[in-house]
Amino acid sequence: MLRNPQLLDRPRTWAGRSTRVVRAHPLLTIAVGVLVAALVIFLARTWVTRGGDLDEALRLAPSEATRVSFTDWAGIRESVGTDLDASSSPAEVHEMIDEAYTKDLTSTSVLPDASGLLQQHFGWSPATLDWELYTQSTEGALMLAHLEDMDADHLVDKLTSMGFTAPEDDPADGGVWDGTLVPFANFTDSGIDSTISPQLTYIAFLPKRDLIVASDGRRYLGDQVENLGDGDLNEPMTEAAGRLGDPLSAFVYDGDFTCSEIGLSGASAADQDQADGLVDAAGDINPIAGFAMAAEPSGNVRVAMAFENDDQARTNADTRAKLAVGPAPGQGGTFDERFDLGKVAAEDAVVTMQLQPKDGTAVLSDLANGPLLFATC
């Protein structure tokens, strides 16, 4: 005869010591297993969908992207002390945008100029989005916006009422809406002068991911909807971005873009000559393979530069720390007029710098355009 299950078995001995083996009741084991599985699913969904997660947003970026910008709208609303929702007025949204602009938090976004129009007519805006990711490459540009608990049917109704041309298939789940014939200039009832971004010409909804996806290219958007998240950004970009933590706004560039757009290639001959002298005095520098810069909730700016190897990172930590406290050819003045240089460190192949802006200086947007500090080629 089978005996009833027991919670405690007979004592056993090991190394002369009495031990007692606890044996769980089968029903208790099942219940605990179900609870653990539910907890794992809950935490996974929370991690994947929580707004402001730069890592998760970057996993959705097209693999060919060379320039990526990220904006944590939920974090920005908290940072400026506003409590907005879908019922907020366009004027309230613009007031939040203005406050975020003064804190240098909006240069990463393509939405601020259109925020009143978005709030009034699209059913979403910086007042309600969790985060926004904007990517650029030679193949096209893409805007991704995460809207928690997105009601795709409601957003479809909004586009229909505005005059967007509906897709033949799946209007609320992956179909591409065409806004080329929408008379945006006629939508003046927002009470705010709003300018629609070309990046919102074509729009698609992915409700299972709570994503709004948009582009100025119909074919490119359609391709991205089909393959979203299938590729990876190049490794130096993700290595640099991985050192940013949880920023309010951030730029991430590949090496070629860093070289051509934020180095000194466009500076005057006199500025380039001055820069050459400063670099010679500072020491060796190497090309940046991946670059990232972010505005932190504390108000500081963090810079991360990925290099080819650990040795290059250690070398560039020293030389670029010297450059960061000197003249700023191509921009005017000096860097120490703009910020105080904090900790500079090399870990593996990545150099990080902490910058403390002075007197409300717009360090993030200022340094994203052509400074000697990030000269690479």
Cα separation, 309 vs 144, whole angstroms: 32
- Mapped onto helix, strand or coil, the DSSP state of residue 144 is strand
Cα separation, 192 vs 181, whole angstroms: 22
pLDDT tens digits along 262-298: 766 667 788 778 888 888 888 899 999 999 999 999 9
Overall average pLDDT of the 225-239 stretch: 94
pLDDT tens digits along 162-203: 999 999 999 999 999 999 999 988 887 666 666 788 999 999
Supply the pLDDT for residue 37. 46
pLDDT tens digits along 46-89: 333 333 489 999 999 999 999 999 999 999 999 999 999 999 99
Supply the pLDDT for residue 190. 63
The pTM score is 0.84
Look at residues 180, 187, 152, 154 and name the one whose alpha carbon lies nearest to residue 165.
180
Look at residues 58, 71, 134 and name the one whose alpha carbon lies nearest to residue 101.
71
Structure tokens at 372: 């000697």
Q: What is the mean pLDDT of the chain?
A: 85
Supply the pLDDT for residue 371. 63
Supply the pLDDT for residue 9. 36
- The more confident residue out of 143 and 282 is 143
Cα separation, 172 vs 153, whole angstroms: 6
Burial class (CB in 10 A: 0-12, 13-18, 19+), 131: buried
Reported as a pLDDT band with limits 50, 70 and 90, residue 40 is very low
Supply the pLDDT for residue 376. 66
Question: How many other C-beta atoms are found inside a 10 Å radius of the C-beta of residue 209?
Answer: 16
The 10 Å CB-count burial string (b at 16+, else e) for 284-305 is ebbbbbbbbbbbbeeebbbbbb
Between β-strands 67-71 and 249-254, what pairing exists: parallel, antiparallel or unpaired?
Answer: antiparallel
Supply the pLDDT for residue 184. 86
Supply the pLDDT for residue 307. 97
Cα separation, 361 vs 313, whole angstroms: 28
Cα separation, 135 vs 54, whole angstroms: 13
CA distances in angstroms from 290 to 35, 272, 286, 309, listed in the order given: 42, 23, 12, 12
- How many Cα atoms occupy the beta-carbon half-sphere of 276 within 13 Å? 8
